[in-house]
Structures are given as structure tokens and as C-alpha cells.
Amino acid sequence: MNLPLAGKVALVTGASRGLGRMDALMPAKAGADVIVTDILLEEDGNLEETTEKMGPLAQIMAQSKQIYTRSTAKEICAMGRRSAAFRMDVTDREEVKSVMAKVIEQFGRIDILVNNAATVDHTARLEHQNDAFWERDLQINLTGTYNCCKAVWPYMQEQKGGRIINMASITGIMGGFGQSSYATTKAGILGLTRTLALEGARYEITVNAIVPGIINTESFQMTKPDLRERMIGRTALKRPGKPEDIAHAVVFLASDYASYITGIGLPVTGGLDLFTF
């Protein structure tokens, strides 16, 4: 069977759970070898220390053992693809560079980079904004995406081709009440995407963003039920998206079907951005 990503090598950031995990599994189903990376790994002697620094969501996930970085790599190998799991903190430039170098050594190339890692656990109105969380969100969501793009760039330049897919958010376009740091980073990602699309074109590197609306992940399930219902009520389709809905967009943008698409932010929102009343 002719799979759309056969022979390609993909690297996904923030893939221990949620959208990132599905963004690793789906390209593998579509034929790619996939490297699964995250700051959290199942067996990590420093897990408690790391999650304490990361914030409340990471702590809950670690305590409830919802970390699937290595197990996702194993699932991918069971599909008959090559895979590996690496600890990669996207804010740590040296670690990002060293993981990319190891991937090149072991897998020979990186055709697809999915910049998914982010923090989604902080909401506060400006007057209550925690400055440390503001800095953290910018570092991880925006600078982390920049760090990974910059580290993969020379390999993609040399290969004369590559696909970078950045995870934005509808809040980056519409704003999000209580989400000044998060929305700012996601708007920044759209600007970075368009700029790198212009700069990458001469090397056949396409750079696109996906703009998810409300997707039913572990983090969404942790919001209060009445808030969840209100958010779903804002969508035209009156339901949250599934992680697969985002992962299908990843496969499409990484495939030859999207070879003439660059610099876009593809909304996968169930019509959240439409005027419904």
C-alpha cells in the first residue's frame, strides 16, 4: 500500500500525552518513522523536580502516571516503523541541538518537525497575572518553537526540503479571556510561521501552523464541566474536536498533497471562529 508519509522521518515535541502523542502516532500510521520527545519521560529520576518547576498540570499528570513518551515510541515500533523516545526540553537549546544530532545519527534525516510542546495550564486576568507564568509560557510556547525550528533548519537546508508544522491556537487569533500569556505566544507562532515560510521557500522547506479550537484532550477534561459546555456551545458543530482531527491535519500538511502550501494557519475548530448565536 502506498502510505503518504512512507520513508519520511518525523520528530514531535511535547508528545507525552494529548495532541502531541496523537501527532506522533498518526504520521507513523501514515508510514513515517517518528521520534517522540518530551520534557517528561516515564522513568526519570528527576521527575518530581521537573514537574514542580513546570507547574500544576505536569504535577497532576506525573502523579496520575499519565506520561506516555516511551510507550508511544513502543507503539510506533509495534506498527513496524522505527521510533525512539528522547527527553527534550524545548527551552534548553543545547538539549534540543543534541537530540536533533542524535536523530540524524540514528535515522539519517529529519523530514518533518511538529512543534507541539506548550503549557496550557494557566489562566488569570491581567491584574492577577503571575509574572513567572508569563515568562514560562513565552519561553516554552514561543521561544521553544523558535529553538526547535532553528536547530532543525540546517538539516532541512542540506536535505533541500522539509516540513515544519507549528501548533498555534484559535486564541492567537481571537484572544482568550484570562489567557494573555498563552494567546500572545500563539499569535507569535503565527508570525514566526509566516516569516519562516518566506525564508524556507528557497530550500523547499514549508512552514505551516495548525490552529486548533477546542480539542478533547486530558487538559480539556480538567476544566470545569460548565466551562466545557460553554466552550462547546461556541462551536458551530456543537462538539469538541478529537486529537485525531488535529493529527489528520498534521499528516496532510506533512504529505505531498500539501507540497504547494506554506505560511498558512489551518483552522481545525469545528467552526468556533464563526458567528454563531
State the minimum distance, in angstroms, from the CB of residue 69 to ligand NAD.
Answer: 8
Q: Which strands make up the sheet holding 33-38, listed edge to edge?
A: 83-87, 33-38, 9-12, 112-115, 162-167, 205-212, 265-268
State the minimum distance, in angstroms, from the CB of residue 62 to ligand NAD.
Answer: 9
State the minimum distance, in angstroms, from the CB of residue 266 to ligand NAD.
Answer: 12
Q: If you write DSSP's letter for every residue of 40-89 in order, what string do you get?
A: --SS-TTHHHHHHHH-HHHHHHHHTT---HHHHHHHHHHTT--EEEEE--
Q: What is the C-alpha R_g of the chain?
A: 18
Phi, psi of 269 (to 5 degrees): -130, 0
Long-range contacts formed by 173-178: CB under 8 A, 24+ apart: 173/211, 173/265, 173/273, 174/273, 176/123, 177/123, 177/125, 178/123, 178/124, 178/125
Q: Which is nearer to ligand NAD, 19 or 25 (CB)?
A: 19
Q: Which is nearer to ligand NAD, 164 or 214 (CB)?
A: 214
Q: Which is nearer to ligand NAD, 31 or 272 (CB)?
A: 272
Q: Which is nearer to ligand NAD, 218 or 244 (CB)?
A: 218
Secondary structure percentages of the chain, helix, strand, coil, to 5: 50, 15, 35
182 carries an active-site annotation? yes
Task: In whole angstroms, give the CA distance from residue 242 to residue 211.
Answer: 14
Residues that bind ligand NAD (CB under 6 A): 13-14, 16-20, 38-40, 54, 57-58, 88-91, 116-120, 140, 144, 167, 169, 212, 214-215, 217-220
The active-site residue, picked from 146, 155, 182, 203, is 182
Q: Which is nearer to ligand NAD, 31 or 253 (CB)?
A: 253
Grid cell digits, residue 157: 537546508
State the minimum distance, in angstroms, from the CB of residue 203 to ligand NAD.
Answer: 25
State the minimum distance, in angstroms, from the CB of residue 252 to ligand NAD.
Answer: 16
Contact 218, 176 (CB under 8 A): no
How far is C-alpha 122 from the chain's CA centre?
A: 17
Chain residue at closest Cβ approach to ligand NAD: 18
State the minimum distance, in angstroms, from the CB of residue 198 to ligand NAD.
Answer: 23
| Pairing assessment for the beta strands 9-12 and 205-212 based on DSSP bridges | unpaired
Q: Which is nearer to ligand NAD, 33 or 38 (CB)?
A: 38
As annotated, the active-site residues are 182
